[in-house]
Amino acid sequence: MSVVDNAIYVDGRRKLAPSSLDTAFDALRTCPDDSRSFAWIGMLRPGRDEIDAVANEFGLHELAVEDTVNAHQRPKLERYGDTTFVVLRPARYVDPVEVIKLGEVHLFLGPEFAITVRHADEPDLSVVRRCLEDDPELLAHGPYAVLWGVLDRVVDDYVPVLDGLQDDIDQIEEQVFEGDTRVSKRIYQLVRQVIVFHRAVEPLRDIFAQLRWRFGKQGEDTDLELRRRMRDVEDHATRVLERIENYRALLDNLVTVNSTLVAQRQNEEVARMTSAGFEQNEQVKRISSWAAILFAPTLIAGVYGMNFEYMPELGWPLGYPFALLLMAVMSALLFVVFKRRGWL
């Protein structure tokens, strides 16, 4: 069975713990009309038949029931007559893989009932129930006290997620300025997680605005403490949302800074390679110049080293000095030419 806990509360105190939904319905009908009594039914991943049974008993709107069956809803608060339907997205941070896991909690609140439907194991609402049961005066305010308890738990659980994000952002800042090439992928992954988290938290503004309107319209003194507590949770949610928006801005800046540093390092690498190429060209020019200078006497010596019979210079008494002089002149001429061109 998906019913985790099932209890009837009278004046903020647990009076009955029915063993099934049917007995809970019967027990609620027997409560005196003038008593402050309501049923709190907690469910975990209920099937369609169980949801339909609850819907038929308490007259839940078919659109809200359909949302609960299908799940994967955005946070919202909607009113269907006397029934208020609330969707919340609790979160937890899986630090080793830097992923935010979102749960989903649906609440149906009516004059005589509070139904909590969880589509994930977390958060553990039994802690919320025990906390409220320890404060009967608060729980005596009825189903909206249950809403406050669940909201308070969900918003409080956002803080560890923010702390985990803060630690990872600090690490990313160090990686960026250390020139770690793997940081770009990590930044974009964390940006995506922050956006998902923002989508889960941002609708709380509208939820609290509607709750303020509801409490302001009723204006009962008995709701004064509950209104105060709701404002406190709203303040916490506002601070959470501000931190998320700051993280988004910081990560956007880190993307820009990282791109700038990467471009700067690429420019420095191109400049270094250009400088190295220029130096290499200078060395090639020097080598080529000396090769040309040495080639001239080699060419002359090679011609006269062929020793053909009919070479007129072979019988000339000044042939040898002339060949040496020609080698020297050619080498000196090439040296002067290359020197003027800056190749030497």
Measured distance CA(71)–CA(104) in Å, rounded: 8
Residues 216 and 121 in one domain: yes
Residues 239 and 181 in one domain: yes
Q: Which value, in Å, is the radius of gyration of the alpha carbons in the chain? A: 42
229-258: per-residue pLDDT in tens?
999 999 999 999 999 999 999 999 888 888
* Domain final position from 230, 263, 296: 263
Which residues constitute the domain of residue 332?
A: 276-340
Question: CB burial class (10 A; 0-12, 13-18, 19+) of residue 274?
Answer: exposed
Residues 11 and 103 in one domain: yes
pLDDT value of residue 155: 96
Measured distance CA(54)–CA(66) in Å, rounded: 13
Termini Cα distance of the chain? 93
Residues 227 and 199 in one domain: yes
Residues 25 and 106 in one domain: yes
Residues 48 and 169 in one domain: yes
277-325: per-residue pLDDT in tens?
777 777 777 777 778 777 778 877 777 777 666 677 666 777 777 777 8
Three-state SS string across 97-108, please?
A: CCEEEECCEEEE
125-142: per-residue pLDDT in tens?
999 999 999 999 899 888
In DSSP terms, 172 is beta-bridged to none
Question: CB burial class (10 A; 0-12, 13-18, 19+) of residue 96?
Answer: exposed
What's the mean pLDDT when you consider all of the chain? 84
Q: Does residue 269 lie within any of the structural domains?
A: no
Higher-pLDDT residue of 259, 216: 259
pLDDT value of residue 19: 66
Residues 328 and 231 in one domain: no
CB 241 within 8 A of CB 284: no
